Homo-oligomer: A and B are copies of this chain.
């Protein structure tokens, strides 16, 4: 199986997903050149704005492997991952990512991926959604409690 083969499977799933009310996106995760999980966008179906194909397939692959990391796995997506999904890819520590369409194609189709990419590097106060750090004496209490935990599982 080539990168093109896996991407073609993701594209086929994405087309089918539009017929059942889902968004036009799908993703596949492979390990040792075998598919271990596939998912389609389910934002409106699940009433969940985080239910992008990549987030769902990462979640599913982690369940399949019973791990919270996917070090030796490759993700194939019908479209370039948005910043949310890109973040998920880093937290899952995937090995590689291949995609067919890109963020500009997504923008033409009416999706905000490119807009969000432009927002991420801005200072919080300059973003379109109002964001602000508020100073509290207790702000560091969670990190202090974390550092003090002897049996914590690092991730």
Interface residues of A (CB under 8 A from B): 3-4, 7-8, 11, 14-15, 17-19, 21, 23-26, 43-44, 46-50, 52, 55, 58-59, 62-63, 66-70, 78-80, 82-102, 105-106, 108-110, 112, 115-117, 119-121, 124, 129-136, 138-143, 145-147, 149, 151-155
Contact = CB atoms under 8 A, between A and B. Distances in A.
Given A14-B142, A84-B85, 12 more contacts: A7-B134, A8-B138, A18-B146, A25-B142, A83-B120, A89-B129, A91-B112, A98-B131, A99-B134, A100-B133, A105-B139, A108-B143
Contact of A50 (B55, B109, B134): B55
A97 B41 CA distance: 25
A132 B102 CA distance: 10
Q: How many copies does the complex hold?
A: 2
Contact of A47 (B26, B48, B63): B63
Nearest to A42: B68
A134 B86 contact: no
Contacts of A43: 68, 91, 155
B80 A84 contact: no
A81 B10 CA distance: 30
A38 to B, nearest CB: 14
Contact of A139 (B55, B58, B101, B132): B101
A61 to B, nearest CB: 10
